């Protein structure tokens, strides 16, 4: 109890320090957005370019193209030969990489502060001048297919996750894997990647986030110098993509060589639309913490340690995304238990919560835990930039970040009970299970992640 109270007493001080951080926003004439946050604790800068283009924007037949284009962005321009981008950043003492998600694609560098101009020069160059040749594409698409084999085809639990999403979502693009279906990758062409690049990679569809030991006015001048001359383009029309209401339980079973069974359960859940007035997403965040926050959380305490039904179990929820969210459970039954045993036990925990709610002690513990984790993560420049970029790229604003702890602190036990009863509805449930099959010890295995970039 003393430790929990100590954390609660420290939180206002930590958030006061975070709130004092100066954030500046600029928008260039071509629609390019720049957000700069000063952090003068060390002579380092994080630079991230966020394109509001992810797998949610893909169409059937070209799934995975957003991720493929991410790979191709390292294949050179007229000024930077193929393969040199990463070497140039490394020679400057920095590190860089990129990732693609359902909602956006991000390219980032972390450098000594005097080298920020180099990062911005390189990013502006490949935003407008990428050389996407058939030869380089033919090589890189093989790398992406190997990555798919390594990430999904060779991993039974990943296969279950993929089938879970394609079952939970019937029409929304979230049904499709970010890395793409193998058949689409096998038939993808350089023209598909060029069309994606020409459609979405424009200054008016991008946000540059810079966090570090910088002068915001100087960063703005550099953005004007390198990104300002780039021409805005008309973006493809984004049509509404609402998922039809689910009207009954859905189930899917994956049979794959594996040692242990596996279970995923999920319910459609709301996302944050208006940070000032929405309360349900914050209550859902607290609900996830009550069920799976630490060793004292209900699922771990009751199903892993007390009843020994599961080797591991977790609950998860994302309140920020461009599309619909899911409140999920996943776990591995212990020896002697089945996925049916584990599912029934999880359902029992849900029903108990929906009948009896949560205690005030649980509520305060989870608030302290969730908010403290956010405070500690904000100590990282990279995480600060990630928070800003995610908010901006999902249609929200970085200004809402300071509201997060306040809104969480305002959640009541009654609100947590209300969202549990409203959203953890059996008629909206999707269940995916792994049915382990005998393993072939002689089957080829991809032991290491294939080289990327």
Residues annotated as part of the active site: 70
DSSP 8-state secondary structure symbol assigned to residue 325:
E
- Write the burial class of residue 238 (CB in 10 Å: 0-12 exposed, 13-18 middle, 19+ buried): exposed
Nearest-5° Cα angle at 52, 47 to 55: 120
Q: Which two tokens stand for residue 125?
A: 């160059």
The Cα–Cα gap between 214 and 225 comes to 17
Bridge partners, 313 (sequence order):
331
Please report, for residues 378, 391, 401, the alpha-carbon distance to residue 385 in angstroms, rounded to integers and kept in the order given: 9, 10, 12
Q: Which two tokens stand for residue 147?
A: 């990555």
Instruction: Tell me the backbone φ, ψ of residue 250, rounded to 5 degrees.
Output: -120, 145
- Helices 216-226 and 116-129 meet at what angle, rounded to 10? 30
Contact (Cβ atoms closer than 8 angstroms) between residue 354 and residue 420: yes
The Cα–Cα gap between 246 and 265 comes to 15
Strands 206-212 and 33-38: parallel
Nearest to 89 by CA among 123, 62, 50, 39: 123
DSSP letters along 82-104, please?
TTHHHHHHHHTT-EEEEEE-SS-
Residues 6+ away with beta carbon under 8 Å from 39: 21, 211, 212, 213, 381, 384
Q: Which two tokens stand for residue 274?
A: 């208006």
Contact (Cβ atoms closer than 8 angstroms) between residue 408 and residue 284: no
For the chain, the helix, strand and coil percentages under 3-state DSSP, each to the nearest 5: 50, 20, 35
């Amino acid at each position: 109890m003393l430790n929990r109270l100590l954390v609660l007493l420290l939180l206002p001080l930590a958030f006061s320090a975070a709130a004092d951080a100066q954030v500046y926003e600029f928008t260039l004439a071509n629609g390019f957005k720049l957000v700069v946050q000063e952090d003068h604790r060390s002579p380092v800068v994080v630079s991230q370019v966020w394109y509001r283009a992810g797998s949610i924007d893909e169409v059937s037949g070209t799934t995975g193209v957003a991720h493929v284009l991410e790979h191709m962005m390292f294949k050179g321009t007229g000024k930077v030969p193929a393969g040199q981008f990463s070497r140039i950043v490394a020679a400057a003492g920095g590190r860089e990489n990129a990732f693609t998600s359902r909602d956006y694609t991000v390219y980032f560098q972390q450098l000594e502060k005097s080298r920020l101009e180099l990062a911005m020069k390189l990013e502006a160059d490949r935003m407008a001048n990428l050389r996407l040749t058939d030869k380089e594409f033919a090589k890189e698409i093989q790398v992406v297919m190997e990555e798919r084999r390594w990430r999904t085809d060779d991993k039974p639990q990943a296969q279950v996750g993929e089938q879970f999403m394609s079952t939970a979502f019937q029409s929304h693009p979230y049904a499709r894997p970010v890395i793409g279906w193998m058949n689409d990758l096998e038939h993808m062409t350089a023209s598909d990647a060029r069309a994606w690049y020409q459609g979405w990679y424009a200054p008016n569809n991008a946000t540059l986030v810079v966090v570090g030991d910088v002068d915001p006015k100087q960063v703005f001048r550099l953005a004007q110098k390198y990104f300002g001359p780039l021409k805005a383009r008309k973006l493809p029309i984004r049509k509404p993509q609402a998922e039809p209401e689910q009207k009954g339980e859905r189930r899917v079973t994956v049979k794959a060589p594996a040692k242990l069974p596996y279970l995923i359960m999920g319910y459609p859940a709301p996302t944050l639309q208006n940070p000032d007035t929405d309360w349900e997403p914050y209550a859902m965040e607290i609900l996830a913490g009550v069920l799976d926050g630490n060793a004292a959380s209900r699922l771990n305490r009751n199903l892993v340690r007390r009843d020994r039904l599961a080797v591991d179990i977790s609950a998860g929820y994302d309140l920020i995304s461009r599309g619909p969210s899911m409140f999920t459970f996943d776990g591995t039954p212990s020896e002697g238990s089945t996925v049916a045993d584990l599912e029934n036990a999880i359902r029992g925990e849900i029903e108990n919560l929906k009948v009896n709610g949560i205690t005030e002690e649980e509520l305060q513990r989870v608030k302290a835990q969730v908010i403290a984790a956010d405070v500690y993560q904000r100590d990282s420049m990279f995480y600060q930039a990630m928070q800003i970029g995610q908010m901006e790229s999902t249609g929200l604003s970085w200004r809402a970040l300071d509201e997060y702890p306040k809104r969480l602190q305002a959640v009541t036990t009654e609100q947590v009970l209300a969202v549990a009863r409203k959203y953890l509805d059996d008629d909206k449930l999707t269940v995916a299970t792994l049915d382990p099959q005998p393993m072939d010890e002689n089957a080829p295995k991809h032991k290491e992640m294939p080289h990327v970039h």
